[in-house]
Structure 1
């Protein structure tokens, strides 16, 4: 059982990478080491086996092996939420039970996708999971899986054990409306990295994102600036974050790009699974050099991974 509650799951939360070796095999020792790397920045929580964690490219057994490895390192230090989403309700419930047994603070899931399920089917999917496993659940609004309306989120919030929503979209005006509709006890998390400062300003309980694996210190500074009412400072830091995000997203291979830059900085983040296309050799070096050039152009300072790359270039 987790020593944390869902109310402890707030602040800056990496949607953690899953670590595979060059042959696409799960690397448990590297998973533990990467978790220690993230903990070194005093992050506030972890979100496992989601989109960034390549959860849909993993067997159920591999997802749980990853969870157990992370929990061994981080479970008594910070709250950990496990994404258990799958198209099928039965398999999702199986993963949810295993996540609870591993000591997760909560579970999370995207809506069922691919078959364009209607609102009743999606509602039942979440209801069935929440009733089958007595652990807090965070539902997930994300365009890749289909967006739920604010009204549906309100309906789902009435189900016991559904305690929050991860909201990954650019129409963040919906966030205060959701908060107003469901009440302050229902947790809302901003999931768009490029809007972290804006999400914090409109009142999310935490921010969960991919680039917090690469530049967690920058997002922690953004969070701290907002808490200190230093909005102009937060905005300036956010601009640098957006520049870094845009640079790596423009390649169309975000997860592989993040992992490549971390590897080049001497941090074993492993490789992405196919059909993602990894960076090797000169391509990896050029990607890292380009990031250093970008950071130098905009005088970005005191960002750990970029400073490690500067030592090389």
Structure 2
């Protein structure tokens, strides 16, 4: 896969767990097939929506292998890596490559407030060890990759761009303004996807894409065609769903949205827990607002 093919709506898959917290392979395959039926531009496995922080390297390998089987080369597969040392990140990157991943999407470390030099050494070590394109996942509030830091990281040979998250449309805009032309910026500003597309984001990798892929693809295609009125209309349909998700216990909220849509994706790994009845009701009302049909499934 060339870098230029990684555009558009790229949903991050959830990881489906059984009651004993083992991975349910068949339901994970069903989840991937549903996402792939929506004209998406790629698929991310093992990111934060996929509870990548809670996966062993061999579990990530297994999930990526399944993703490669299900996509059949039609869209790129991105392996998410959420580790707190270069050594561990390299281990995960190697097994992801062995499993057939096309790209790596890597968070900075979560602890000890790394400075820009530490960020550089972390990503350079991974790049030197594993020959795969790297997307920086700018999501960690204690380890923010600033546009200035990203300009330095862009000098590392395998880094191709950044997934800009954290609700910061200003940083996303500055990234696009200041980064070298060959660096790509994907949006993860779930509440503001359509204005980020209008600003020039090459697509998105974000949790809202996973729960409302039909609307998200329709919105992206509208922006590609210059129909920003339609994109704005879809934005306001989807916004309450994101506002109901964007709180503590995010894995449970994401899976609850999918559950209400009729998809059995299990529960998150501990210590995350099911959400309250009040929050279940808020999600239900948000889906009604989006005009999405709901099909209750058993708990």
TM-score normalised by length of structure 2: 0.92
Q: 1:58-73, aligned counterparts within 5 Å?
A: 58-73=55-70
- Secondary structure of the corresponding residue to residue 78 of structure 2: strand
1:57 to 54, 57, 60: 54
CA deviations 1:275-308 (Å, max 9, x no partner) are: 111259xx4xx76665444444x4x43xxxx314
Q: Aligned residue for 1:126?
A: 123
Q: Aligned residue for 2:152?
A: 155
Listed as ranges, the gaps of 5+ residues in structure 2 are none
Q: Aligned residue for 1:80?
A: 77
Alignment CA distance shift 1:125-1:239 (3 Å): same
Q: For 1:145 and 1:203, locate their aligned partners in 2 and report how far apart those are by CA, in whole Å.
A: 27
2:254 to 245, 258, 261: 258
Q: For 2:250 and 2:135, locate their aligned partners in 1 and report how far apart those are by CA, in whole Å.
A: 24
Contact in 1 for aligned 2:57/2:95 (Cα 8 Å): no
2:266 to 270, 276, 279: 270
Q: For 2:77 and 2:297, locate their aligned partners in 1 and report how far apart those are by CA, in whole Å.
A: 33
Listed as ranges, the gaps of 5+ residues in structure 1 are none
CA deviations 1:101-147 (Å, max 9, x no partner) are: 22211112111121222221111000111111111111122243521
Q: For 1:279 and 1:133, locate their aligned partners in 2 and report how far apart those are by CA, in whole Å.
A: 39
- Secondary structure of the corresponding residue to residue 161 of structure 2: strand
- Secondary structure of the corresponding residue to residue 211 of structure 2: coil
- Secondary structure of the corresponding residue to residue 173 of structure 1: helix
Q: For 1:310 and 1:130, locate their aligned partners in 2 and report how far apart those are by CA, in whole Å.
A: 45
Q: Aligned residue for 1:218?
A: 215
Alignment CA distance shift 1:290-1:165 (3 Å): closer
Q: For 1:27 and 1:41, locate their aligned partners in 2 and report how far apart those are by CA, in whole Å.
A: 22
Contact in 2 for aligned 1:75/1:103 (Cα 8 Å): no
Runs of 4+ in 1 over 3 A off after TM superposition: 286-296, 308-312
Range with bigger deviation, 39-48 or 261-270: 261-270
Q: Aligned residue for 2:88?
A: 91
Q: Aligned residue for 1:106?
A: 103
Contact in 2 for aligned 1:111/1:140 (Cα 8 Å): yes
- Secondary structure of the corresponding residue to residue 36 of structure 1: helix
CA deviations 1:214-273 (Å, max 9, x no partner) are: 1111111111121121212211211121111112335x3332122123234331212111
TM-score normalised by length of structure 1: 0.88
Alignment CA distance shift 1:293-1:92 (3 Å): closer
Query: How much does 1:23 deviate?
Result: 2.0
- Secondary structure of the corresponding residue to residue 9 of structure 2: strand
Q: Aligned residue for 2:132?
A: 135
